[in-house]
Structure 1
């Protein structure tokens, strides 16, 4: 039975980011590492976007925007993002970058199989695939089990779900240097619904119809709204180059309580997604750096996670969206209408001081959050 120091059950963003940080640290060359996934990561199955002021991963950033639009049915505002830029990375480019680096290290291996079970015994862990059984010292699990969240009602679960079309149009209607961050001018229908647009040329863009809500829609509903939005832009002829869809869990459920001394949940399975926005790339980068730093001096995974003020801010927002889903447009609009966009993005990156927090929070509808706070205390 093959034994490894570390086994990653799943090789998604957070697993690959953690292995990448291990490589950068230079502290794990003597450790045997195995990534197991039934997906070989050889197709462009997703894109990630994030705002950033550093040059991290710039070699695979496919597009950058210096401005972004926020809009609803009553106003639109162009946000100057400096010192940030909004960046886009294609999934396949990220996979190829990380696996190329992995291939240069003989202590790291990939197994293309499906994990069916994993467990912790007295002095080691066991991972079972459909074909074999392996042992290790530590498990990094990124296999998300939605039933863990759905089986309780203390922490709400909101889905960020979307379908996107990358189109090439006859008319030049897009501004290549300006992304549409959130456009709430689309009909809300009792939910939090917006259009998200990432232009690459004057006549090319990715348009995603996105919801923050509990329930998914039929594919036809997303696509009908995309078609309507395209027509409202004045586009009469276009071709669909590519389609994508996704469903990202947004929850403050304490996944870390399921960590053991030798098993840690990472990625969506560990609550690494930013609960109030569904953003994953920047959060995964930060969490993986923190986890690798932790591993240099600690061995008990139950000590890794700590709650902070941002977790509580996100929890209040999700409480509101869970009970009154239609309020999303009002809340985000109040933040972005006149707020300092740099401070807002810094706040969403969980890097603000208390004073900066107040600059953002004070613009939000106060009574809505007061009621949410009272409701949360009573829980």
Structure 2
């Protein structure tokens, strides 16, 4: 069996970002590394959005950014003031191409298209099995999410599931300077449902039908919802140029408890997704920084975790949405109707002070959160 210093099972966002940053810091020169994934990463399979202040490290692959956006509640419409933040979009294919073009210059980094079927920590090393071959390594980074892991715990698990259409209209329709951040004016049907509209030009946009709920929908229902939304906007003459769909776990389950001495769960498999929103890109950017710093100091992966008060805030919201899934619209609408978008962004990035936390929390429906707090205490 071939032996590597590091193996990454799954070569998605978290794995590629980690290896890329190692490369930039000169930490790859003496370590044989293997990335295993069933996908070749040659397709635009997803879109990531995130907010940050002014310029950032990923601006070269940002395909579009917005300085402001619309928020639609069930009974109001508000233009959000982002302050110094910008809302940025990165396409999957742009990210993959950027990272992989860098990594191909390293002879010690091997990228293999194989499906991982299992792995075992033998204390002195880890064995990784694929459908066609077995490997060993000193350390394994696993980003392959197993839905059954969180389902076995006591923590609520929701899904952020979505389908998006990239469309091109015959006539100019969109204001490309403003996105629609969340539109809750669509029928909720007992769930938390909203639309994103991310215009790239007056004639092109990504429209994404998104739910926070426990169960997925039949494929046809996502398409029907997008068609109805376009019709309500007055858009009837358009071409669908691309589609995307996905499902992101939303849970406060302590994934770090499944780490071993030599196996570290990363990405969604490690709980790197922001539990209350499903946002992944910015959280992964931060976690990879923490991980690379950790690797310079520690060898036991069981020590890599952090549980803070933001984890508890997320737990309360998920507790509410798990029990009363239709409440999402009223919660997010209250936050953005009463609060400043820039402060909410800072809060969701887990960068606020306690006094700023209180300002955001004060905008939320208090009865719902008090009940959730009591359930978690008792």
Alignment of 1:1-379 (within 5 A): 1-53=1-53, 54-152=55-153, 154-378=154-378
Cα shift at 1:130:
1.5
Contact kept, 8 Å, 2:66 with 2:86, in 1: the verdict is yes
Contact kept, 8 Å, 1:171 with 1:236, in 2: the verdict is no
Q: Deviations over 1:163-222 (max 9, x none)?
A: 111111234332101111100000111110001110111222111111000011112211
Alignment partner of 1:206: what SS?
strand
User: What is the distance in 2 between the residues matched to 1:228 and 1:354?
Assistant: 42
Contact kept, 8 Å, 2:123 with 2:261, in 1: the verdict is no
Cα shift at 1:82:
2.9
Contact kept, 8 Å, 2:118 with 2:130, in 1: the verdict is yes
Contact kept, 8 Å, 1:173 with 1:234, in 2: the verdict is no
Contact kept, 8 Å, 2:81 with 2:340, in 1: the verdict is no
Contact kept, 8 Å, 1:70 with 1:180, in 2: the verdict is yes
Q: Deviations over 1:214-259 (max 9, x none)?
A: 0111122111111111111112311111111111111111110000
User: What is the distance in 2 between the residues matched to 1:166 and 1:124?
Assistant: 45
Contact kept, 8 Å, 1:254 with 1:271, in 2: the verdict is yes
Contact kept, 8 Å, 1:173 with 1:233, in 2: the verdict is no
Q: Deviations over 1:4-60 (max 9, x none)?
A: 111001101000011112112223421111101111111111111111123221111
User: What is the distance in 2 between the residues matched to 1:219 and 1:111?
Assistant: 31
Q: Unaligned regions of 5+ residues in structure 2, if any?
A: none
Alignment partner of 1:215: what SS?
coil
Alignment partner of 2:6: what SS?
strand
Cα shift at 1:276:
0.5
Moved over 2 A (4+): 170-173
Q: Deviations over 1:313-341 (max 9, x none)?
A: 00100000000001000100110002111
User: What is the distance in 1 between the residues matched to 2:60 and 2:123?
Assistant: 44
User: What is the distance in 1 between the residues matched to 2:225 and 2:367?
Assistant: 32
User: What is the distance in 2 between the residues matched to 1:294 and 1:258?
Assistant: 18
User: What is the distance in 2 between the residues matched to 1:55 and 1:375?
Assistant: 40
User: What is the distance in 2 between the residues matched to 1:373 and 1:173?
Assistant: 45
User: What is the distance in 2 between the residues matched to 1:198 and 1:372?
Assistant: 34
Cα shift at 1:133:
1.5
User: What is the distance in 2 between the residues matched to 1:189 and 1:122?
Assistant: 50
Q: Unaligned regions of 5+ residues in structure 1, if any?
A: none
User: What is the distance in 2 between the residues matched to 1:296 and 1:28?
Assistant: 13
User: What is the distance in 1 between the residues matched to 2:102 and 2:237?
Assistant: 43
Alignment partner of 2:288: what SS?
helix
TM-score using structure 1 length? 0.97
Alignment partner of 1:158: what SS?
strand
Aligned residues: 377
TM-score using structure 2 length? 0.98
Alignment partner of 2:180: what SS?
strand
* Coordinate RMSD, CA, aligned: 1.1
Alignment partner of 1:346: what SS?
helix
Cα shift at 1:106:
1.9
User: What is the distance in 2 between the residues matched to 1:124 and 1:274?
Assistant: 31
